Amino acid sequence: MEVIQVIVALIFAIFVIGLVLGLPYILAVGGAGIVGFIAGAMWSACKWIVKSILYLIFEIWDRTKAKIQAKKKKKRLMCMFNLKNKGHL
């Protein structure tokens, strides 16, 4: 639930920042500028969210890969020292 609130807050923050940065264009172009700006702000928010999700996926994948490698290393060490058969582990 907290993750959803954070995502909504980030989308709102990106939209507000985009609104402030795009204000001169809205004033210069008029109604078409407003529609184009809202579309652009939503597009930038969507790109940012997609990048964040991809970053999280790759971060989780890296951690999982590291855990798998650690298990393989531990298994290799156990086999090398034959600790399983001696009752140490």
Domain presence at residue 73: no
What is the sign of the dihedral through the CA atoms of 38, 40, 45 and 49? positive
Domain that holds residue 7: 2-58
pLDDT digits (tens, 9 = 90+) for 5-52: 888 887 777 777 766 666 666 666 666 666 666 777 777 777 777 888
Domain presence at residue 70: no
Q: Kindly state the helix (H) or strand (E) to which residue 85 belongs, with its residue range.
A: none
Domain presence at residue 72: no
Domain presence at residue 9: yes
Domain presence at residue 89: no
What is the sign of the dihedral through the CA atoms of 30, 36, 40 and 42? positive
Neighbours of 41 (CB within 10 A): 19
Domain presence at residue 34: yes
pLDDT at 21: 67
Domain count, the chain: 1
DSSP sequence for 32-69: HHHHHHHHHHHHHHHHHHHHHHHHHHHHHHHHHHHHHH
Domain presence at residue 15: yes
| pLDDT higher than 80, residue 80 | no
